[in-house]
Structure 1
Amino acid sequence: MTVALLGAGVMGEALLAGILQGRPASDLLVGEKRPERAAELTERYGVEVVGNAEAVRRAGTVLLVVKPHDVGPLLDEVAAEARPGQLFVSLAAGITTAFVESRLPAGVAVVRVMPNTPALVGEGMAAISPGTHSGDEQLREAEELLRSTGRVTRVPESQQDAVTAVSGSGPAYVFYVAESMIEGGVHLGLTRATATELVVQTLAGSAALLRDSGEHPTVLRERVTSPGGTTAAALRQLEDGKVRADFLAALEAARDRSRALSSGEPA
């Protein structure tokens, strides 16, 4: 089945590169209007680059990887070429399956996806939700495509705003913590290069341990925290600063903003 990818930005190219690890370039079409970008993608990946409408006409599955405000105009551009039985997979934050379905012919299946930026290094986390005309077959197709850039889970669409708050925006929280730890290391007398190396590897190793051990984070935290020791002193300071409560408030703020964007409020 031919897959059309509409949107060749950073996330679109990451998805393209991942899909090509398991499929030949002849199975993919890329919709791109800019001649210089089209030439770049053809040279780098060997894919055929065509107009958006032609890509939809020739494909069985269509991936929408554009900014949320571009989804409506893009769907209007390609709707005449869409047909029942096709699958449209939308990776645009805050865009509901109902919105996509309303711009396409009846019977087109739609799956909504919330990805995140670690997909760029094959470690992404994507949550998918079915639309009105999507069944298990369409969800499996979406999962197969998205697994090329990381892990995939299924959630009801009503939970997508929470997913956006936790994993969609989540990398920014991790980078914020990393930034804070690096600055703290510099404040304590380390060179910036040394502090950066220490923090990055500590975060990477801790994430791998959390993922691979199967242990609850509380258990892993307690193993590092000796009574009356240095870690206990640091964690006491974080608790006094209400960091845990601030994280909850931040997640709620992100969820509420996602809800607002889904309802059509301006960005």
Structure 2
Amino acid sequence: MRTSVSLPAVAFVGGGNMGAAMVMGLLGESPAPAITIIDPSPAVRMRFADQPGVRVEADPAALAAAEVVILAVKPQVGAEVCRQLAPHLNQRHSLISILAGIPLATLSQWLPQVGRLIRAMPNTPMAIGQGMVGLAGDERCQAADLEQAAALFRPGAEVVIIAEAQMDALTAVSGSGPAYLFRFAEAMYEAALGLGLEATTAQSLVTTTLSGSAAYLQQRCREERSFVAGKLRDQVTSPGGTTAAALAVFDQGQLSELVQSAMVAARDRSLALAKGEP
């Protein structure tokens, strides 16, 4: 895919699953940016050792080659990793953090010398090029900085740019959202087995129904430029029919209220993590 924005030289600090997904997406761009992965793990470096277009290093001094640094380590080690990176970063660098629950103010304390800070919240479907990412920049970020950051994520995700105050709500919706769908899929699969279906048949029915329905909903929302899930549900639901019987059970269990409570709990936990609460 040819990009409309010139992609900068980028260094990934951490070569785990999310970083790897971004790297593979960027390598498919034309032209692909210069990519460096910095990770002390021999296993991670071995994973990318033979990948054309990727430089793999253990030494943070390799950050000198990058314009944009993507911090993709576990939040628990974020402070220590930033301490190691600090001597190699300066005003010309932009840093994008995908550390869950770490606000821009904390990142600024860890790396005050960095020119621009951007906080990102991707989700796991990025691994197959169908992710969702929210971006929030600090007060020094211009529109061009955020667009450049968005271009780095777009090979694997749709991107929205929001105020940081909305990041906890976004985390509750799209960051944690895949797990909600997976949990519902588990329940459907278990119910399908209980109805007497074979395991392979149940798996196919559940996964194809969910993926197809999600794709259909997305397409119709784009066509009608509004959220039409309720309209599509009504089209499937005949009065007195099988779907109506099932939905009545969901309503009796107060499904909407349960989902609301779950997402509030996720939002509140994100807020607590941002305050450093265990």
Structure 1-normalised TM-score? Answer: 0.96
d(CA) in 2 for partners of 1:87, 1:258? 24
Residue of structure 1 aligned with 2:135, choices 128, 139, 148: 128
The two structures, once aligned, show a CA RMSD in angstroms of 1.4
Matched, 1:251 2:263: yes
Instruction: Determine the structure 2 residue equivalent to 1:226.
Output: 238
Q: In the superposition, relative to structure 1, how do residues 96 and 258 fare at CA in structure 2: closer, same or farther (>3 Å)? A: same
Contact 1:52 1:78 in 2 (8 A): no
Q: Structure 1, residues 174-215: CA drift from partner, whole Å, max 9, x if none?
A: 000101001111101101110110010000110011111125
d(CA) in 1 for partners of 2:160, 2:277? 28
Deviation (angstroms), 1:103: 1.6
Residue of structure 2 aligned with 1:65, choices 60, 72, 85: 72
- Seq. identity, %: 39
Residue of structure 2 aligned with 1:99, choices 106, 113, 118: 106
d(CA) in 2 for partners of 1:101, 1:225? 52
Contact 1:26 1:48 in 2 (8 A): no
Contact 2:10 2:33 in 1 (8 A): no
Instruction: Determine the structure 2 residue equivalent to 1:261.
Output: 273
Deviation (angstroms), 1:104: 1.7
Residue of structure 1 aligned with 2:21, choices 14, 25, 35: 14
Q: Could you list the runs of 5+ residues in structure 2 that have no partner in the other structure?
A: 1-7
Contact 2:26 2:32 in 1 (8 A): no
- Paired residues in the alignment total 266
Matched, 1:140 2:152: no
Q: In the superposition, relative to structure 1, how do residues 104 and 177 fare at CA in structure 2: closer, same or farther (>3 Å)? A: same
Instruction: Determine the structure 2 residue equivalent to 1:49.
Output: 56
Matched, 1:154 2:154: no
Deviation (angstroms), 1:105: 3.4
d(CA) in 2 for partners of 1:185, 1:26? 47
Q: Structure 1, residues 81-126: CA drift from partner, whole Å, max 9, x if none?
A: 1111311000111111111111223452011001100000000000
Q: Secondary structure at the match of 2:196?
A: coil
d(CA) in 2 for partners of 1:36, 1:231? 50
Q: Secondary structure at the match of 1:110?
A: strand
